[in-house]
Amino acid sequence: MKQISIALATALCLAIAAAPANAQANRNLDIYFLDMAGGGSTLIVTPLAESVLLDTGSLEPQHRDADRIIRACRDAGLKQIDYLVTTHFDSDHFGAILEVSQRIPVKCFVDKGSLPPDGQNTNWFKRLYPLYQQATKGQVKTLRAGEDIPLKNDPGGKIPPIKLHCVASEKKIEGFEGDIDAAVAGCQIRKPDTSDNARSIALVLTCGEFQFFAGGDITWNVEHHLAHPVNRIGNVDLYQVTHHGLDLSNNPLFLKALSPTVCVAMNGPRKGIEPNTFKALNALPSIKAIYQIHYNTQYGDAGNTEPEFIANPKEDPKEGQYIKVSVHPENGNCTISIGPGGPKRTFAIQ
Phi-psi region of 78 (alpha: psi -120 to 50; beta: other; left: phi over 0): beta
65 binds Zn ion (CB under 5 A): no
Site string for Zn ion, 91-130 (x = CB under 5 A): -x--------------------------------------
At its nearest, how many Å lie between Zn ion and the CB of residue 336? 22
**Residue nearer to Zn ion on the CB measure, 29 or 54:** 54
CA–CA separation, 290 and 136 (whole Å): 35
At its nearest, how many Å lie between Zn ion and the CB of residue 36? 9
SS3 content of the chain, % helix, strand, coil (to 5): 25, 25, 50
Burial class (CB in 10 A: 0-12, 13-18, 19+), 191: exposed
Stretch of 87-95, 139-147, 271-279, 335-343 lying at the interface with Zn ion (CB under 5 A): 87-95
At its nearest, how many Å lie between Zn ion and the CB of residue 200? 9
At its nearest, how many Å lie between Zn ion and the CB of residue 197? 7
Residues between 199 and 218 that touch Zn ion (CB under 5 A) = 217
Number of residues that bind Zn ion (CB under 5 A): 2
- For the CA atoms of 7, 12, 15, 17, what is the dihedral angle to 10 degrees? -100
Residue in the shown chain whose Cβ atom is closest to Zn ion = 217
At its nearest, how many Å lie between Zn ion and the CB of residue 244? 6
237 binds Zn ion (CB under 5 A): no
**Residue nearer to Zn ion on the CB measure, 217 or 223:** 217
Sheet holding 323-328, edge to edge: 140-142, 106-111, 81-85, 51-54, 42-45, 29-33, 323-328, 333-338, 344-348
Residues in the chain: 350
Contact positions toward Zn ion, by CB under 5 A? 92, 217
